[in-house]
Amino acid sequence: MADDAYLEEHQQTIEQAMSHAVSAAVAARAADPVRFVSEQLKAQADAEGIVRAADSIDREFRALGGGCEIEKTEERAISLVQLEAVWANIVRRCVAERWEGGRPDGTDAEGKPQWKTVALTPESVNLYDADKYLIKPVTVARRCSLVEVLAAGPQPPDWFVSHFWGEPIKEFVACIKRHSKDRLLGFDM
């Protein structure tokens, strides 16, 4: 509960620091942008800032497998149990932390797409939103993938799933669960 209150109070600071670090990496034309952003975030973190937010998420997810380094990208598959943990984190934090996301809002006179910022609900969170509020805070500083935070070791895939990042995560999880059920794969496919 203390972590939730801290994140709610400091969410804007965390977002601003992340945005500033990414902008600085682009402006500097950094050869290694991930490392550059990581160093910028460490430098910008006030007292606890981003470090505390990432640590809170990191502790929660490490309970699933302890975290590890997985050298081969192709062995970084996410399991259904891990995907459910990501969904549970979204449900727990989204409204409490007042997450916001960009959504289409028609077009202008020239036909260019327009966007508006809206308050998110767990049901409306897509992968772009999860990347902003959940994935980047726990992976950028460590320079790792989300699966490396969740897993105990390499996780080669049994299935490959292609999906649209703009699809609500709730719907994506429901599709994966249905796939698992239809093929009698069990919960931890």
Half-sphere exposure of 127 (CA within 13 A, CB side): 11
* C-alpha span between 177 and 22 (Å, rounded): 35
Question: How large is the angle between the packed helices 169-182 and 80-93, nearest 10 degrees?
Answer: 150
Question: Quick check: 114 and 106 in contact, CB under 8 A?
Answer: yes
**End-to-end CA separation in angstroms for the chain:** 31
**pLDDT tens digits for 35-55?**
777 777 666 653 344 455 566
**pLDDT tens digits for 109-146?**
999 999 999 999 999 999 999 999 999 988 888 899 99
Task: Return the residue matching tokens 């049901």.
Answer: 123
Host H or E run for residue 52: helix 49-65
Question: How large a percentage of the chain has pLDDT more than 90?
Answer: 55
Question: Quick check: 155 and 78 in contact, CB under 8 A?
Answer: yes
* C-alpha span between 101 and 110 (Å, rounded): 24
Confidence of residue 1 (pLDDT cuts 50, 70, 90): very low
Average pLDDT for residues 98-119, to the nearest whole number?
94
